[in-house]
């Protein structure tokens, strides 16, 4: 009676080949899923900016000439918080959410999920001739906020008089770019 302990060379080669196929399929599948999630997040960000702008213009009592949505410290400017309507994008767990505030009070208790795991959102802020990447990474109350001048419909500056020029939604092998037209307050698709 033979007591074999182990695998033959052929058995090991077959197992390694099967593992290679399974791993390759898993990586390709996750790239496809993350790419799809990025596309869906891109659509939701575009939709949120368009639909919530009407809320801002309808309900805000914010006078023209507000200096910025955020103060130098990063907190929402009290003038915008108490008199205006603003849209916040923030991270909770591995997901990105959005919530609209009317004079400092959220329209709904729960945020609306924009993107899930594997998707990142980066805002490009122009300060003079330099462009800085500001990722959406803070939790609720510490996210990236957008608001509009009620009299003109233009975007308010993000912080320190500087404007967000683009929003990049990235997932898998896809990157979607939303250009923000500061004078008109429009979000324009500009896919890469």
* Domain-located, residue 4: no
Q: What range defines the domain where residue 110 resides?
A: 9-189
* Domain-located, residue 92: yes
* Domain-located, residue 172: yes
β pairing state of 105-106 and 119-127: unpaired
* Domain-located, residue 72: yes
pLDDT tens, position by position, 136-184: 888 888 888 888 887 788 888 888 888 999 999 988 778 899 999 988 8
* Domain-located, residue 90: yes
Total number of domains constituting the chain = 1
| C-alpha closest to that of 155 among 125, 131, 134 | 125
| C-alpha closest to that of 158 among 69, 64, 66, 53 | 69
pLDDT tens, position by position, 68-91: 888 877 788 888 888 778 889 999
Q: Are 96 and 41 in contact (CB under 8 A)?
A: yes
* Domain-located, residue 71: yes
* Domain-located, residue 107: yes
* Domain-located, residue 55: yes
pLDDT band at 129 (very low <50, low <70, confident <90, very high): confident
């Amino acid at each position: 009676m033979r007591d074999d302990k182990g695998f033959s060379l052929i058995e090991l080669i077959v197992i390694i080949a099967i593992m290679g196929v399974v791993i390759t399929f898993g990586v390709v599948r996750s790239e496809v899923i993350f790419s799809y999630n990025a596309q869906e997040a891109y659509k939701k960000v575009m939709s949120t900016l368009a639909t919530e702008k009407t809320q801002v213009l309808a309900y805000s009592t914010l006078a023209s000439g507000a200096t910025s949505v955020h103060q130098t410290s990063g907190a929402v400017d009290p003038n915008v918080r108490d008199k205006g309507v603003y849209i916040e994008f923030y991270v909770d767990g591995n997901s990105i959410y959005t919530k609209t505030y009317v004079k400092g009070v959220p329209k709904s208790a729960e945020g609306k999920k924009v993107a899930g795991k594997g998707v990142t959102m980066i805002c490009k802020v122009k300060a003079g001739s330099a462009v800085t990447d500001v990722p959406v990474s803070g939790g609720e109350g510490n996210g990236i906020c957008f608001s509009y001048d009620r009299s003109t419909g233009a975007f308010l500056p993000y912080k320190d008089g500087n404007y967000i020029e683009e929003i990049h939604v990235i997932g898998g092998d896809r990157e979607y770019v939303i250009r923000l037209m500061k004078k008109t307050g429009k979000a324009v698709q500009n896919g890469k």
